[in-house]
Chains A and B, each alone.
Chain A
Amino acid sequence: GEKVEQHESTLSVREGDSAVINCTYTDTASSYFPWYKQEAGKSLHFVIDIRSNVDRKQSQRLTVLLDKKAKRFSLHITATQPEDSAIYFCAADTGGLSGKLTFGEGTQVTVIS
Chain B
Amino acid sequence: DPKIIQKPKYLVAVTGSEKILICEQYLGHNAMYWYRQSAKKPLEFMFSYSYQKLMDNQTASSRFQPQSSKKNHLDLQITALKPDDSATYFCASSLRTGGKDTQYFGPGTRLLVL
Contact = CB atoms under 8 A, between A and B. Distances in A.
Most buried by B among A34, A100, A106: A100
A101 interface: yes
Interface stretch (B18-26, B66-74, B76-84, B100-108): B100-108
Contacts of A46: 102-105
Contact of B105 (A31, A36, A96, A106): A36
Given A34-B103, A46-B102, A93-B100, A99 B43 contact: no
B86 interface: no
Given A99-B33, A99-B50, A103-B42, A43 B106 contact: yes
Interface string A90-112: 01010011111111111000000
B21 to A, nearest CB: 14
A99 B56 contact: yes
Interface of B: 31, 33, 35, 42-45, 48, 50, 55-56, 58, 90, 94, 96-98, 100, 102-108
Given A43-B90, A100-B45, 17 more contacts: A31-B100, A44-B105, A45-B105, A91-B43, A93-B100, A96-B98, A98-B48, A98-B55, A98-B56, A99-B31, A99-B33, A99-B50, A99-B96, A100-B33, A100-B48, A100-B58, A104-B42
5 contacts: A46-B104, A93-B100, A96-B98, A97-B98, A99-B97
